[in-house]
Amino acid sequence: MSVRGLLAAVAILIVLSGAFWWSETKNKQDDSAASSKDNPKLVLVKDEDVARLDLVKREGGTITLQRQKSGWSLTAPKAVRTDTDAVSGVVSTFTGLTWDRLVEEKATDVTTFGLTAPELKATLTAKDGKKITLLVGDATPTSGGFFAKLDGDARVFSITGATKSGIDKGWRELRDKRLITIDDSKLSRVELTATGKGAPVEFGKTGQNEWQVLKPTPVRADNFQVEELIRKVREAKLEASGTDETDQRNAAEFAVAARVAVVSLTDPSGTQTLDIRKKGEDLYAKSSAGEDVAKVTKEFADSLAKGLDDFRQKKVFDFGFAEPTKLDIRDNGKAYAFTKSGEKWLSGGKEVDATSVQSLIDKLRDLQATKLSETGFGTPVVEIGVTSLEGKRTEKVSASKGASAWFAKRENEATVYEIDAAKMDDILRAAGEVKPPPPPSAPAAPAKK
């Protein structure tokens, strides 16, 4: 090929490449514009700028949500607290409204779409007073959507079923369904009275932010069990569905039902009480924080049917997962003392094997009574001291040996912990088996050349 011919071919290639680039870029721009046109954002109001929502149903009834300084409140059909997440979901769905498909650009008769008497009329009022009203009509023949339009806009479009259900909520779905609304992170008192379980039990917080039994007698509480009780109470909720008739029936049944348990939670704002009652096989709960009665499960009622013994701490030591820094054990004439210094454990000023000390700590941490009582403790032959929380907490336990079990008492406490003999024997054996640290590993021999 001649030089002139080669140059001509190159020029043609450059022109074709430029044309292909322009065509591809133009197509992408057109696609982007079409996408924006096909699914435009129909509501230009930010979530935080919404001041009010009114939902009017075809079958009757109006729901009004009003934003206050303290948050959203439900003012119609009745004034009740709202579920913040549920209301935020409705607001976000409305402000994020796009159509699924444009049905008619300029509709002159919307009767055929069910929009003359819409199934739902939802009106958003912004803080500046601007109102946007969405009309939702009949279901579309295909795709599971619904015909819709904005009031004052001639366009009829369709929205997905998910969009409709995201806005079309009942007031029971939007109310705060919690029976107890107290902030459990600020609780200072919990009281429980369960039928047939003895005297009422009252719990309070200790200086270490742990629960302590205050009544009927001051004893250590199983923190996990108290927290589980609180969790159960806080999870009790009203149903999202229901009718006025079911509400009235539940209230009437509750009024004549037998009491199963009463639990009260107190924080700086005050006290809220949950009353659980039973009639036949049905169980009901009513909170002092609201008027409505909820049906609850047997599992929930059983979780509250507990007495003092169910909440008493059976573990002998409190240090839990806090790492001890000092251990003192006296077993008849034998004495063991271990002190932590940095990452090392020392005994008599000499380093000992940290792994064997940790094994001893684990056994002390897990030491638990098989039975609690006020009697059975004899002459102590073992004394154990554990210092933790960087020296801020020291626990001292004395133990006596019985015929088939050990009996332990914590310093300044009357409770006697009956302990399986094998568990205590393991602890004393582990203390005696703490050994010097293993010798350092020999350096690796140099590789032969």
Domain with 121 in it: what CATH number? 2.60.40
Q: Domain containing 89: what range?
A: 47-174
Q: What angle do CA 23, 29, 30 make, to 5 degrees?
A: 85
Same domain, residue pair 160 and 237: no
Asked if residue 318 belongs to a domain, the reply is: no
Centroid of chain to Cα 177: 15
Cα gap 124→47, rounded to integer Å: 11
| pLDDT given for residue 444 in this prediction | 58
Q: Identify the domain boundary among 121, 150, 174.
A: 174
Same domain, residue pair 51 and 130: yes
Asked if residue 200 belongs to a domain, the reply is: yes
| HEC profile of the chain | CCHHHHHHHHHHHHHHHHHHHHHHHHHHHHHHHHHHHHCCECCCCCHHHEEEEEEEECCCCEEEEEEECCEEEEEECCCEEECHHHHHHHHHHHHCCECCEEEECCCCCCHHHCCCCCCEEEEEEECCCCEEEEEEEEECCCCCCEEEEECCCCCEEEECHHHHHHHCCCHHHHECCECCCCCHHHCCEEEEEECCCCCCEEEEECCCCCEEEEECCCEEECHHHHHHHHHHHHHCECCCCCCHHHHHHHHHHHHHCEEEEEEEEEECCEEEEEEEEEECCEEEEEECCCCCEEEECHHHHHHHCCCHHHHECCECCCCCCCCCCEEEEEECCEEEEEEEECCEEEECCEEECHHHHHHHHHHHHCCECCEEECCCCCCCCEEEEEEECCCCEEEEEEEEECCCEEEEEECCCCCEEEEEHHHHHHHHHHHHCCCCCCCCCCCCCCCCC
Same domain, residue pair 256 and 331: no
Same domain, residue pair 298 and 334: no
Asked if residue 24 belongs to a domain, the reply is: no
Same domain, residue pair 66 and 131: yes
Same domain, residue pair 162 and 231: no
User: Could you tell me which of 324, 303, 301 has the C-alpha nearest to residue 385?
Assistant: 324
Asked if residue 88 belongs to a domain, the reply is: yes
Same domain, residue pair 165 and 126: yes
Asked if residue 96 belongs to a domain, the reply is: yes
Asked if residue 317 belongs to a domain, the reply is: no
Asked if residue 54 belongs to a domain, the reply is: yes
CB 283 within 8 A of CB 297: yes
| pLDDT given for residue 290 in this prediction | 87
Same domain, residue pair 97 and 163: yes
Same domain, residue pair 332 and 358: yes
Q: Identify the domain boundary among 285, 311, 337.
A: 311
Q: Identify the domain boundary among 174, 199, 231.
A: 174
Same domain, residue pair 254 and 362: no
pTM over 0.95: no
Asked if residue 208 belongs to a domain, the reply is: yes
Same domain, residue pair 294 and 381: no
**Contacts (Cβ under 8 Å, ≥6 apart) of 399:** 380, 381, 382, 383, 384, 406, 407, 408, 409, 419, 424
Per-residue pLDDT of the chain (449 residues; tens, 9 = 90+): 454 554 444 344 444 454 443 444 434 333 333 334 577 999 999 999 999 999 999 887 899 999 998 899 999 998 988 999 999 999 999 999 999 999 999 998 999 999 999 999 999 999 999 999 999 999 999 889 999 999 999 999 999 999 999 999 999 999 999 999 988 888 999 999 999 999 999 999 987 788 999 999 999 999 999 999 999 999 899 988 888 899 999 999 999 999 999 999 999 999 999 999 999 999 999 999 888 999 999 999 999 999 999 999 999 999 988 899 999 999 988 999 999 999 999 999 999 999 999 999 999 999 999 999 888 899 999 999 999 998 989 999 999 999 899 999 999 999 999 999 999 999 999 999 998 887 766 565 566 65
Same domain, residue pair 111 and 227: no
Task: Count the domains in the chain.
Answer: 3
